[in-house]
Amino acid sequence: MYRTMVLIRRFEEKIAGILRSPEKDIKTPCHLYIGQEAVAVGVCAGLRKTDYIFGTHRSHGCYLAKGGDLNQLAAEIYCRANGCSGGKGGSMHLIAPEVGLLGTSAIVGASIPLAVGAALACKIRHDHRVAVAFFGDGATNEGGFYESLNLASLYKLPIIFVCENNFYSTHLPINECLANTNISQTAKSFKMPASKIDGNDALKVYQIAQVAVSRARHDQGPSFIECLTYRWLGHVGPNDDINKGLRSQVELDSWIKKCPIAKLEKLLKKQNILTEKHNVGNKNFCSLHKQIDQKIETAFKLARKSPYPNIKELTKKVFKTQ
């Protein structure tokens, strides 16, 4: 879990660095996941490869946490033919069906009914798979959110609703767009277990998700997990939006102190699972981070050298063919 969280963080930092640089050769809009890594990693750590997940416009973390290929993700960021979406999706429309990620959508709340549909299919087939919908607090303003929770509860579908509550709907604070900001309380009204937890605590997320997964596999119906977390950067792009007056530096600093990676790192040090020392083989932070950085550098070099999609294949994989 720690390795995956660092991989996500360093990957996103690499993108942010490129977007801030003069070359700025990434053209697709990027919604970065820095600060929220514990949610996707904690949930996906307890899922099987065959389980389904659906994500949002901010889903690089979900893709990597579910086991998506790093090189294909980097290529997709550059809209290249060997990207996970064939260069047609860019940052916001990722897919990796080989590991259960059936798609991410830039439409607010779109992941929710899609995941419910997948869960219904699982129930009909009796295949003991679980579907997970990742979505932000802003999605709870959508009508599809309420319809989906109702249907999932009514038919006891094997689904987990994971709300990544980062307190902002695009640029609007949650208390300015929701009459009831206790989102998990809303979920309880649909007669399903609902938890509100520290979304920056990967182990807590994992533990709660495991209970939800077990319920879903044993035909006990849906669960709802509201993960309180925070994105360090702005809604889209590499900047923090402080100068736009959207949030304060004090608020951002307070959440940086709650860094999910630092929290897990502290535990690993305490239990001597990883160490700062350089003389214990690969069981130290320095060597682990170096390995991850090397993989990321390789992935971006390959992406830049890869070809763009052939214009003749523009309509391929758009419509279902017999």
Is the model's pLDDT at 283 over the cut of 70? Answer: no
Question: 99 and 35 in contact (C-beta within 8 Å)?
Answer: no
Strand 172-173 vs strand 168-169: parallel, antiparallel, or unpaired? antiparallel
Residue-wise pLDDT for 132-159, tens only, equals: 999 999 999 999 999 999 999 999 999 9
pTM, rounded to two decimals: 0.94
Is the model's pLDDT at 172 over the cut of 90? Answer: no
Dihedral of alpha carbons 164, 33, 241, 107, sign: negative
The domains of the chain are located at: 2-240+293-304
Is the model's pLDDT at 170 over the cut of 70? Answer: yes
Dihedral of alpha carbons 260, 264, 267, 269, sign: negative
Burial class, 44, CB count within 10 angstroms (exposed 0-12 / middle 13-18 / buried 19+): buried
Burial class, 263, CB count within 10 angstroms (exposed 0-12 / middle 13-18 / buried 19+): middle
Give the whole-angstrom CA distance, residue 102 versus residue 162.
16
Fold of 2-240+293-304: Rossmann fold (3.40.50)
Q: In sequence order, what are the residues at sequence separation of 6 or more whose Cβ sits closer than 8 angstroms to the Cβ of residue 322?
A: none
Token readout for 10 is 């360093």
Is the model's pLDDT at 276 over the cut of 90? Answer: no
Residue-wise pLDDT for 10-58, tens only, equals: 999 999 999 999 988 999 999 999 999 999 999 999 999 999 999 999 9
What per-residue confidence (pLDDT) applies to 319?
Answer: 79
- In the chain, what's the furthest Cα-to-Cα distance? 58
72, HSE (Cβ side, Cα atoms, 13 Å): 18
Residue-wise pLDDT for 197-215, tens only, equals: 999 999 999 999 999 999 9
What is the enclosing helix (H) or strand (E) of 165?
A: strand 159-165
Q: In sequence order, what are the residues at sequence separation of 6 or more whose Cβ sits closer than 8 angstroms to the Cβ of residue 125?
A: none
User: Which residues in 166-280 belong to E strands, given as ranges?
Assistant: 168-169, 172-173, 194-198, 223-228
